[in-house]
Amino acid sequence: MANIKSQIKRNRQNERARLRNKAVRSEVRTRIKTAVRHAEAGAEDAAGALRTAVKRLDKAAAKGVIHPNQASNRKSRLMRRIAKLGQASPQPGAAAAPEKEKGASSD
């Protein structure tokens, strides 16, 4: 335990910030999981859940809880993951784009 008054105060501040940051990180994880779950189920509000997850990531970066680049990377991974889920279970009536073969050149 610190004996210096300023360090005691700093410890109190750090503890409060740690708990605040913990809550924000937990909410970000929850929103991401919710967005993925909704996308897997093909729920109507999947777009809203995704929007909320991205919003929470941006907010966490703005508050300094996570680094802005980490927020960007997480958003990118989330978008790719949800896009992949959308391709795996196409909506009725939506035609899938034909995939190009690897290594085949159109000369």
CATH number of the domain that 27 lies in? 1.20.58.110
Q: Rounded distance, CA 54 to CA 50, Å?
A: 6
pLDDT, tens digit, 9 for 90 and up, residues 22-35: 999 999 999 999 99
Domain coverage including residue 19: 8-88
Region at 64 (left for phi over 0; alpha for psi -120 to 50; beta for the rest): left
Q: Is the pLDDT of residue 89 over 60?
A: no
> For the chain, how many structural domains are there in total?
1
The answer to whether the beta carbons of residues 47 and 58 sit under 8 Å apart is no
**Residue-level pLDDT at 104:** 59
Residue 96 belongs to some domain of the structure: no
Q: What is the pTM of this model?
A: 0.73
Q: Rounded distance, CA 61 to CA 70, Å?
A: 8
Residue 12 belongs to some domain of the structure: yes
User: Which residue, 51, 53, 45, 38, is CA-closest to 89?
Assistant: 38
